[in-house]
Chain A
Amino acid sequence: MFIEVAKVGDIAPGGMIAVEANKKELVLCNYEGKIYAVSRRCGHTNAPLEMGTLEGYILTCPLHYSQFDITTGEALSGTVPRHFGDEPMPESIGRFFQYAGMLISKIKTYDLETYPVKIDGNSIMIEV
């Protein structure tokens, strides 16, 4: 069943918004005037994807920069190693980041769920 989640004018071209429907969190993406709906949580560590960037059809996660194809939900790349600068940091903090980095590198990046979208007049309808 399709339900209304937003109005067409709510998303600027190239933009994204987060919506919630049927207890599911989704991101609506406007790619060249067409609306795509994908799950809001990153397929890596659940970061909110609408806070990332949308470049064409490629959505980049704001947390570890995994990328996804919004038209299919396919994970296009894994995480990008983070650099914390060349200044030495306190040993305890350095050890924490090393440990966290090791854990993050062990987490796979999965595809996103995609959802059928229908435009009805001025309404964006999603089947969830």
Chain B
Amino acid sequence: MNVESRKKALRFMFQKVVDPLGYKFSPDEETVDFLLEQEVMLEQKHGIPFCPCQGLTRKREENMKIVCPCIPFHREHFDAIKRCWCLLFVTKDVTNPDELKQIPFGEIKRG
């Protein structure tokens, strides 16, 4: 399979999912391209484009929560940090993704 064609296809499909959720691809094109490439590699290995920034477990139910775009399963967390864990997606109002920090959900809840 051609990696570039698959990256283009994932971008096409993901766009339709994240847009109604209030997210968009990060304006940082280099990061987006790199992350999509990692997802293609994961898909070629596992058959599923898992999040490249979160570890797989032995539990299928848990792994299904990190199939990209995993925003619906982590909505409260990602809405709070205005980005998904990888920084592949940011909320639509974000113009400078470099300002966004990767804060664990536990820290946000502790406030």
Contact = CB atoms under 8 A, between A and B. Distances in A.
Main secondary structure of the interface of B (DSSP, over half): helix
Contact of A76 (B1, B60, B61): B1
A83 B60 contact: yes
Interface residues of B, number: 15
A67 B2 CA distance: 12
A69 B46 CA distance: 21
B57 to A, nearest CB: 15
B60 A77 contact: no
Contacts of B9: 58, 67, 69, 76-77
A31 B47 CA distance: 26
Contacts of B13: 55-56, 58
Interface of B: 1-2, 5-6, 9, 12-13, 16, 43-44, 46-48, 60-61
Interface of A: 55-58, 67, 69, 74-81, 83, 86, 109
